[in-house]
Copies of this chain bind each other. A is one copy, B any other.
Amino acid sequence: MHRSRFSTLLIDVPQDQVPAATTFWSSAFGVPATPVPGEEQFTGLRGAFPGLVTALQSIDDAPRYHLDFETDDLDAETARLIALGAVEVGRWLDCRTLRAPGGHLLCVIPVHSDPEEFQRLATVWE
């Protein structure tokens, strides 16, 4: 038994366009853009949507959005999504990057939202 939830929306931006994109998305959502201490590639956009962690990520690739699923068991959640047809395409620290049927990227990450919120909102997979 493990738990997971769709928790996070990432706006992945080519590195040289991060300043312009940060200004745009902060103003578009009407929320502050906040650097994430110790993870300088991320800029938080807290409040973009109630309860949904939303952040810009500087990447060395074409612009894209991707979703994160947070979980209390990385291996079990990755295995669940692979059994549903996803393919693992990369790992970075504790993040597993998968490509879904249809072509979309999603990542499996450790729980990073409020633990009580995670317990309340996550789905239990038997």
Contact = CB atoms under 8 A, between A and B. Distances in A.
Interface of A: 6, 9, 11, 13-14, 17-18, 20-21, 23-25, 27-30, 48-52, 62-67, 69, 81, 84-86, 100-104, 106, 121, 123, 125
List the number of copies, as a whole number: 2
B50 A51 contact: yes
Contact of A65 (B21, B28, B104): B104
Contacts of A25: 100, 102
Contacts of A11: 102, 104
A102 B28 contact: no
Contact of A49 (B52, B81, B125): B52
Contact of A21 (B30, B49, B102, B125): B102
Nearest to A21: B102
Given A11-B102, A27-B84, 12 more contacts: A6-B48, A9-B9, A20-B85, A21-B102, A23-B84, A23-B85, A23-B101, A24-B100, A28-B100, A49-B51, A64-B64, A65-B67
